[in-house]
Amino acid sequence: MGELPKNQAEETRDGIVSALIAYLIWGVLPVYFKLVATVPPLEVLTHRVIWAVPFGALIILARKQGGDVRRALTHPKMLAFLTLSAVMIAINWLIYIVAVQQSQIFQASLGYYINPLMYVLVGVFFLGETLRPLQLIAVLFAAVGVAVLTYSGGTFPWIALSLAVLFTIYGVIRKKIVIGGMAGLFVETLVLLPIAAVYWVWLAGTGQSAFFSGSLGASGLLVLAGPLTVLPLLFFALAARRLPLSLIGFLQFIAPTLQFIMGVLYGEILTTAHIVCFGLIWTAVALFIYDIWRRPADQAQAA
């Protein structure tokens, strides 16, 4: 197999580095939410929205994507879809924050392991796609894993399933809109900004805002929610332009794997039900990745 042309090799290398940075940030995000664990989840979400706007605006200006933002804001149908996706991602963020603060990181990581398999089911039931044999087996393994955790663990994994379902809906909505990831996120945060601002003003007026009543360090941590929200998506957008979808599909499992490790490091109890569930989920993921990687080869042979 010959070497890639220099410019293509550099593009691939830069894409892999960008993807690794994005998934690394997403993977260790529980550390941040543990650092702000004394702040109520809804206020953390509020700061995530508020500080993402100015930080996102700088990136939009730097990347000269103002035209994309203006087009989205003045196009009723596109703005309606982005408003709906904003609601989905805001609820997703809130559940994730609650999960980490309540020491449910294992469930959060499980949700993002399940998410790609949810996309497969959406394709089958709503887009008329055919379920390939390995995909069917992977989905069955995942379903059995969730069932084991539900019945043997004694708790319905609502956090995991909620995160997976919400992010799947979010992804489906965003696929309907022709707009870049960074510009789309900026519009979503703009849509959420008035609600977040009103809530923050109310918190400040009633003396409940951790931003004003806490230390300078605590306030700085809340401001950090902005770049931690925007930066990984920026790097992911850069990676998506440089890498094939098959490689992106493989790399996306880095984040939930790191989240799982975070759960171990923070001392969450890994029960037998968890071990069986994650074992089945990891088997499903392995089948899913293998199916992704063999498809280009199969298509090349058929050509």
The pLDDT, as a whole number, for residue 271 is 84
Domain ranges of the chain: 6-292
pLDDT for the residue 296: 53
* Block mean pLDDT (10 aa), the chain, length 303: 58 84 93 94 95 94 92 93 94 95 91 82 75 82 84 80 90 83 91 96 90 81 93 85 70 87 90 87 85 60 40
Is the distance from CB of 203 to CB of 209 less than 8 angstroms? yes
Q: Contacts by 74-82 with C-beta closer than 8 Å and gap 24+?
A: 78/177, 78/179, 79/187, 79/191, 81/173, 81/176, 81/177, 82/177, 82/179, 82/184, 82/187, 82/188, 82/191
pLDDT value for 302: 40
Of 149, 155, 160, the C-alpha closest to 118 is 160
Residue 71: per-residue pLDDT = 93
pLDDT at 153: 64
The pLDDT, as a whole number, for residue 135 is 79
**pLDDT score of 2:** 47
Q: How many whole angstroms separate alpha carbon 87 and alpha carbon 261?
A: 29
Start-end of H helices in the chain: 6-27, 29-35, 41-62, 66-74, 76-101, 105-126, 133-152, 158-175, 181-205, 210-213, 216-223, 225-242, 245-251, 254-265, 272-302
What integer pLDDT is reported at residue 54 of this predicted model? 95
